[in-house]
Amino acid sequence: MATAVNDSVVINEVGPRDGLQSQGKTLTPRERLELIQRLVNTGLRHVEAGSFVSPKAVPQMAGTDEVFHGLPSKDQVRYAALVPNMKGYELAVAAGARVVNVVLSVTETMNYENIRRTVDESAADFERILERASAEGVAGQAYLAVAFECPFEGPVNPEVVRHYAERMSAAGAGKIIIADTIGAANPTGVKAVLEAVSRVIPLSRVACHFHDTRGLALANVLASLNAGVREFDASIGGLGGCPFSPGATGNVATEDVALLLGSMGYDTGIDPQALVPVVRAVQSLTGTELGGKSFRWLSQQYDKQQGGGSNGR
């Protein structure tokens, strides 16, 4: 039985960008738009639709400008684009993006392995992007990657996360997203990082991004929720992965987060069962077996409602 908490929580769907970016199969812009339409039809109103990166480096994101030009329900859905640099920002805005995301790794080794720059050099680049976005009426958001643990340096000091959260916020980031990039966080660590960040930014301006590598993503969502966070990234079917954790599962599944929050009485605007055919469609599109912890049960409920049998996973 749901608990009447009279509170709403935002689920930000990252499958069309963070999820697809790690897939071996590259979808066409038309297929990506079809996926986004399916997601929007379930009630999702926050979607990361793509990234403006080099198609040579990330072929899965080729044609993102075409995707943005064709996005459905633009007046009802908050679409975001990831931008790696100022050129990416300019391309995103030219394609109609009104929300841009930057991603800063908070450890030196991770940042250098990714882009051959120091953290402070990257932070300065992103500050310029966020300042320009603010001046031009574009919403800027900053992800702080490896905020709990780094695959090269190990556990991250929460004060480091606090420092960069404060810098990005001061530059104009309206939202700071704390990212568990390799899925190494636990509820105790989540509480420590959020306590540090909350000293400089209200948690109403903080979101969390969890991977389910160690099976703790939902526990971390709950810990964040109890701390006061009201926005979470999730990916349909758990689509995604982590290049630094071979074989690791991807992002926390949208259907799992929607079911957890809904069963607790939080309003997400999403019916978890409505996500079942979308997960199945993504499986067909990508050729990847998908589905969160609740997918088998949700599939059974969905198929009963439709009057047919369950094909589960």
Provide the annotated active-site residues: 242
Q: Can you read off the two tokens belonging to residue 137? A: 């009426």
Residue (of 167, 173, 143, 130) closest to 48 by Cα position: 143
Cβ atoms 240, 261 nearer than 8 A? no
Q: What is the DSSP letter of 27?
A: P
Q: What is the DSSP letter of 211?
A: B
Rounded-to-integer distance, Cα 276 and Cα 297, Å:
10
Place of tokens 């793509």: 50
Query: Per-residue DSSP letters for 240-302?
Result: ---TTSTT---BPBHHHHHHHHHHTTEE-S--GGGGHHHHHHHHHHHT-----TTHHHHHHHH
Say what the alpha-carbon torsion angle 295, 299, 301, 305 is, to the nearest 10 degrees: 150
Q: What share of the chain is helix, strand, coil (3-state, %, to 5)?
A: 45, 20, 35
Q: Classify 104 in phi/psi space as left (phi over 0), alpha (psi -120 to 50) or beta.
A: beta
